[in-house]
């Protein structure tokens, strides 16, 4: 069965600093990978997704992620963080069958200091 | 385009009571999902509908949870009777179809507190 590990529960960065959130997955074949963001009291919003092709994926709000098969990783990055980026970030992997079932990691809470 | 709507946004009940949550997906979306998100964890899929049929309910505690999507549009998730461990945010999501590449769009969720 597929699984996702987000090793960092909580990360604090200064506004304007760069950001990298880690995600490791376990999956038998080429995975379908997603990053979602959840602001307080809000539902999850898709930041970006990887299905195939270019391993560097661009998303909304200036985020990008890189798929590294050799490391089973799909880390999320942003070159300069804004205070409004403070939220919880979830990495997810699509399931093994044809249906669109997602398995989520436990999330990383991002705090941004001014 | 309107997003996924859920109600109520908050609910507090005593254990052993029953509760129901409502979800209206994005118009035209055939697939609807209910997730349970316990504090400190990622969302966990409870049930997935394709139109009005169930695709996956393997993680739904069927002794107390039930869900329906009678006309293939809106859906109701019910818990009867509730337990303390059911305290969580219940998220509804929808997608255009049920393929692996279909993006799921999430509603704001219903926060349930069981006392």
Would you state the pLDDT for residue B8? 97
Q: If you average pLDDT over every residue of chain A, what do you get? A: 91
What residues of chain A lie within 8 A of the CB of B95, using their CB? 100
Burial (Cβ within 10 Å: 0-12, 13-18, ≥19) of residue B1: exposed
Mutate to test the interface with B, among A32, A33, A43 (most CBs of B within 10 A): A43
- Is the pLDDT at A88 greater than 80? The verdict is yes
Would you state the pLDDT for residue A97? 60
Mean pLDDT of A83-90: 96
Tell me, yes or no, if A59 comes closer than 8 A to chain B by beta carbon.
Answer: no
Would you state the pLDDT for residue A29? 76
Reply yes or no: is the peptide bond before residue A66 cis, omega within 30 of 0: no
Mean pLDDT of A16-45: 90
Candidates B3, B42, B100; nearest CB to A32: B100
Would you state the pLDDT for residue A1? 75
Å between A58 CA and nearest CA of chain B? 16
- Show the 3-state SS of chain A: CCEEECCCCEEEEECCCCEEECCEEECCCCCCEEEEEECCCCCEEEEEEECCCCCEEECHHHCEEEEEHHHCEEEEEECCCCHHHCEEEEEEEECCCCCCCEEECCCEEEEEEC
**pLDDT digits 0-9 by tens, A64-78:** 999 999 999 999 999
Mean pLDDT of B98-115: 88
- Residue corresponding to tokens 């859906």: B75
> Which residues, 6 or more positions from A15, have their beta carbon under 8 angstroms from its beta carbon?
A81, A82, A83, A112, A113, A114
Mean pLDDT of A13-36: 92
Would you state the pLDDT for residue B100? 65
**pLDDT digits 0-9 by tens, B19-77:** 999 999 999 999 999 999 999 899 999 999 998 899 889 999 999 999 999 888 999 99
Considering only residues A95 and B27, tell me which one the structure prediction assigns the higher pLDDT: B27
Candidates B91, B98, B105; nearest CB to A99: B98
What residues of chain A lie within 8 A of the CB of B31, using their CB? 100
The Cα–Cα gap between A35 and A56 comes to: 13
Say yes or no for a CB contact (<8 Å) between B106 and A41: no
């Amino acid at each position: 069965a597929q699984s996702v590990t987000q090793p960092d529960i909580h990360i604090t960065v200064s506004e304007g600093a760069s950001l990298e959130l880690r995600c490791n997955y376990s999956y038998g074949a080429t995975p379908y990978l997603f990053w979602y963001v959840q602001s307080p009291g809000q539902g999850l919003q898709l930041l970006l997704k990887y299905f195939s092709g270019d391993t560097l994926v661009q998303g909304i709000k200036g985020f990008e992620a890189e798929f590294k098969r050799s490391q089973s990783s799909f880390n999320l990055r942003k070159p300069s963080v804004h205070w409004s980026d403070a939220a919880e970030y979830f990495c997810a992997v699509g399931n093994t069958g044809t249906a669109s079932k997602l398995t989520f990691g436990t999330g990383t809470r991002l705090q941004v200091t001014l | 385009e309107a997003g996924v709507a859920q109600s109520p946004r908050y609910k507090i009940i005593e254990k052993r009571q029953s509760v129901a949550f409502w979800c209206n997906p994005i118009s035209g979306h055939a697939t609807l999902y209910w997730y349970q998100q316990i504090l400190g964890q990622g969302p966990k899929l409870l049930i997935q509908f394709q139109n009005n049929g169930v695709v996956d309910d393997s993680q739904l505690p069927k002794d107390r949870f039930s869900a329906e999507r009678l006309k293939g549009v809106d859906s109701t998730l019910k818990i009867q009777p509730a337990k303390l461990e059911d305290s969580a945010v219940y998220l509804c999501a929808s997608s255009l179809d049920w393929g692996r590449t279909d993006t799921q769009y999430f509603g704001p969720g219903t926060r349930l507190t069981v006392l």
